[in-house]
Every structure is written in structure tokens, then in C-alpha cells.
Amino acid sequence: MAADTNANIDTSARSNVQSDSHTLPISPRFIGPHYLSVSPYYLSIPSPDDIQTLEYHLSDSNPDSESIHYWTLTIPRPYGIEDAEKFVNSCLDRTEKTGVCLQWAIRVQEEKTGNERNNGSIIWDSGNGLKTDAPAKSHFIPTLIGMIGVHLSENDPKRYEIGYWLSPAHRNRGVVSSAVAKACEIVFEGLGEEEIYGQTFVGNLSSRKVLEKNAFEYLGVVKDKSNGDIPIACPDPKSVRHTWLFRKRKE
């Protein structure tokens, strides 16, 4: 996961996207669905139906959330239903105002097994875990398994950075690499940007490989000096947040 992934990050686009009180047409180019090169995964804008699923993935009650929080920077912890509601509502409000969505749910289409039981807006599958609800006639259930987003850097408001997280159950399948490729395509073609940046904690080799696979150029280490000048080899990225910085330029 990239260090700057945030379940509540500011994804406001800058001057080339209007952000006044006028509602703009919502472009499918940003909303999705965006199908990935690995099937059956795709990206689409978050929805209210995702709120409980987000809380499930990021809550401390889920042991898998530890590996997500460990390698991400600003996802609230503890993470509750209010955090998920705030995130989804901010995405929808911003999209309605600007016509642009720069946060996407990473989803998988999973086949119904017949073992599901409805629990509000969530379907729990006794064999496969948490699933989001779907129309009764649908043979497949679209399940949120992660997030990917693009935001303006806190250090440089003129540059876009990418961040992401994924449920451990779906890692090592090329999903994040494909999602990063699609997000970069949207930023380059949809916003007309010439470059995009990515950061990941020093030591997060999996996330570094994702960026390098997508032709991100390694630029160096950004040192966290909030606790003094601590060596780069510090073993705990949650107490000292040195990051590797990467950049991808439009071809």
C-alpha cells in the first residue's frame, strides 16, 4: 500500500477543474466502471452501499486491517462507521460539485454461492466472507476489496500523488498494479496532467514493486524529521515515516 493512501483524503482537483457552486456534468471517464487487465476486478466511485464494507476492512476488529494501517499514512485509527460515512459522503459531494471523481473503490465480481445471508446492506457469505449487496436477479455480487485514489500533495499543491490499499485476501494477483495503471491513465487523459507521483514507506517492498512495474522512476528518500534526524534504516515506519519517492511521466 502506498504511504499516502487515505480513506479521507482531499481529492479536489486544481485549476483545470471547476469547483464552484455550479454542478457540472459527471463524466463516465472518472466515475467508472473501469475494468482492469486482471479479471474480474474493476474500479468505480464509492457509494453508500460501501460504508459498512469499508468499516469492516479497516476496523481493528478485523485482524487483516493491521497490515493495511501499518503501511498507510492517514487512514483514521480506530476506524469506525462514522469515518466510512464521512469518506463516502465527501467523495459523492465533491463529485457532484466538480463532475470529477479521483477516488475509486477496487471491486471484484464474485459469483453467488447460495450460502449468503442478508445483513442490512451487507451480504455475509459463509464460505467467502464479506460481500456487498446486489440486485436479487444478479448472479454476481460486486465486492469492495480496496481503494485507490489520487490527491494533491501536502508538500507540493501543484503535484498529484497516488495512494492505495487492498484487502490481504486479494494481494499477489496483480490487482493493485493494474489499478495503478488505470488510475494513471485517467489522470493523464482525463485531467491532462503530465506527471504523477507516488510515495511508500521505506521498507514497503510490495508497494515499491507496484510503482516500478508501472514505470514510476525512483527519485530518492523523503526523510521524516518530525522526531529529529533519524537514520533511514529505522525499522518502524509508524514511528518514523521516511518514504521512497517516485514519479511517472506521461508517455
Q: Is residue 8 part of a domain?
A: no
Q: Which amino acid is at 5?
A: T
Spatial neighbors of 82 by CB under 8 A, at least 6 apart, are none
pLDDT in tens, 92-109: 998 888 888 899 999 998
For residues 244-248, give the mean pLDDT.
Answer: 96
Q: Is residue 23 part of a domain?
A: no
* Whether 196 contacts 187, CB under 8 Å: yes
Q: Is residue 10 part of a domain?
A: no
Domain ranges, residue 231: 28-249
Task: Inform me whether the pLDDT recorded for 75 exceeds 60.
Answer: yes
Q: Is residue 2 part of a domain?
A: no
Task: Determine if the pTM surpasses 0.85.
Answer: no
Q: How many domains does the chain have?
A: 1
**CATH number of the domain that 177 lies in?**
3.40.630.30
pLDDT in tens, 163-188: 999 999 999 999 999 999 999 999 99
pLDDT in tens, 106-122: 999 876 655 543 333 33
State the pLDDT at residue 31.
83
Spatial neighbors of 127 by CB under 8 A, at least 6 apart, are 113, 115
Q: Is residue 238 part of a domain?
A: yes
Rg of the chain, C-alpha, whole Å: 18
Q: Is residue 33 part of a domain?
A: yes
